[in-house]
Amino acid sequence: MPRIVSFLPSATEMACALGLEDSLVGITHECDYPPHIKNKPVVVRNVLPIETMTQSQIDFAVSDRLRRGLSLYQIDEQLLHKLAPDLILTQNLCQVCAPSGNEVSQVLNALSPKPSVLWLTPQSIHEIFANIRDLGAATNKQEEAYALIKDCETRLDRLKATVQRASYRPRVFCMEWFDPVYASGHWVPELVKIAGGVDELGREGGESVRIDWSQVCNWNPEVLIMMPCGFNLAQTIKQVWTDFGFREHQLTSLTAFKNQRIYAVDANSFFARPGPRVVEGAEILAHLIHPELFLDSPLSINHEGIFQAVDLDLLQGKLNEGVDYYLESGAMVFTANYLKRRGYCCGNGCRHCPY
């Protein structure tokens, strides 16, 4: 049985999906799926305290470190040497997502004997499946890889058949970062297409790019999906309130705002990681873009933790006394209804916190 160290969460998910969980001897601090995998030794950590930073601060710090040739990750070389892996799973797609390129090569030079390295650098859904196939070949799990890919393709074909019943493909914008604003890239525009939408601001098969808000206004999306890279749903909702310039961006002029079709999603699980769960990402997008086609589906009935409509009335400060708050000794006390509408726990010990 090979000894595998994963330098990126999507590779960890792939390995577990192929039944290689026991072979994983080291992971990154971001590997959290399947949930029990978090007990594995952590070999890679982030050097930036992103949990306490705003999106603009993260963008500036990342750009500054990359400009100075500094890594965003710290590899525990001593632990890596102790774990003595036979195979390292890494990538050379995005310096922001995981250790890549030269920094991986430098670490490998210090290991003896040198492990094999599988580079996973997909730009599309087809290439994600090819990575699964390559991992299966490298670990003698070809049959499991074939079955996993076949299941993913069957689900996508089923989704395409359902979406074909739609009479119209609405304009969609997938926002991959709030401050500054980034359009999506790589496989995400492809997911939108499969889900029955059109996102002309995204770059299918290319890198996500910074865009001006005027481009968003000109595109005037009918559905706006907020999916900041690396953020789960609660983190995304919090960023909507703390980092997204609602008034500065003239959100009210967009058709998506007028039609109450602005959503936050768990980008970290279903969109940012090039692994098997991008198929669920396509299914989620289809539910948001064409809800009329999925009225009775389980995802439409229960989507807690997966996606949430942004409460645009609340974003504009519209509160109902007795429903969203009540007065006590001259102070406003927020109700559970308000906190649910807001969509995340602020950690301040609110009296009626439902989280």
This prediction has a pTM of: 0.91
Q: Do the domain assignments include residue 147? A: no
Say if CB 264 and CB 270 are below 8 A apart.
Answer: no
Instruction: Output the pLDDT for position 68.
Output: 78
Q: Kindly state the DSSP code that residue 92 receives in the 8-state scheme.
A: S
Place of tokens 């997909």: 122
Q: Are 265 and 341 in the same domain?
A: no
Q: Do the domain assignments include residue 134? A: no
226-250, pLDDT tens digit by residue? 999 989 999 999 888 887 765 566 7
Place of tokens 């160290």: 5
Alpha helix positions (H), the chain: 9-17, 55-67, 77-83, 101-109, 125-138, 142-163, 188-194, 213-219, 233-242, 255-258, 267-270, 278-289, 298-301, 312-315, 336-342
Cβ neighbours around 164 below 10 Å, total: 9
Q: Are 307 and 325 in the same domain?
A: no
Q: Which helix (H) or strand (E) holds 263?
A: strand 262-265
Beta strand 24-28 pairing with 42-46: parallel
Instruction: Output the pLDDT for position 262.
Output: 96
Q: Are 308 and 331 in the same domain?
A: no
Q: Do the domain assignments include residue 162? A: no
Q: Are 81 and 187 in the same domain?
A: no
Q: Are 336 and 216 in the same domain?
A: no
Q: Do the domain assignments include residue 104? A: yes
Q: Are 99 and 57 in the same domain?
A: yes
258-287, pLDDT tens digit by residue? 999 999 999 999 999 999 999 999 999 999
Instruction: Output the pLDDT for position 222.
Output: 98
The count of domains in the chain is: 3
Instruction: Output the pLDDT for position 66.
Output: 74
Q: Do the domain assignments include residue 172? A: yes
Q: Do the domain assignments include residue 132? A: no
Q: Do the domain assignments include residue 328? A: yes
* Amino acid, res. 263: Y
Q: And the tokens for 193?
A: 């297409």
- Distance CA(179)–CA(43), nearest Å, equals 30
Q: Are 172 and 273 in the same domain?
A: yes
Say if CB 273 and CB 10 are below 8 A apart.
Answer: yes
Q: Are 245 and 338 in the same domain?
A: no
Q: Are 175 and 281 in the same domain?
A: yes
Name the residue range of residue 201's domain. Answer: 168-314
Cα 182 from chain centroid? 14
Q: And the tokens for 206?
A: 């290319």
Residues 6+ apart with CB under 8 A from 179: 54, 55, 56, 59, 243, 244, 245
CATH code assigned at 72: 3.40.50.1980
Cβ neighbours around 21 below 10 Å, total: 15
Length of the chain: 355
pLDDT along the chain (355 residues), means of 10: 92 97 95 94 84 82 78 84 92 57 66 86 95 97 98 97 96 94 96 98 93 94 95 91 69 92 96 96 97 88 89 89 93 92 88 91
Q: Are 194 and 251 in the same domain?
A: yes
Q: Do the domain assignments include residue 286? A: yes
b/e for 259-283, b at 16 or more Cβ within 10 A?
eebbbbbbbbbbbbbbbbbbbbbbb
- Distance CA(287)–CA(59), nearest Å, equals 31
Q: Are 199 and 307 in the same domain?
A: yes
Q: Are 299 and 229 in the same domain?
A: yes
- Distance CA(91)–CA(93), nearest Å, equals 6
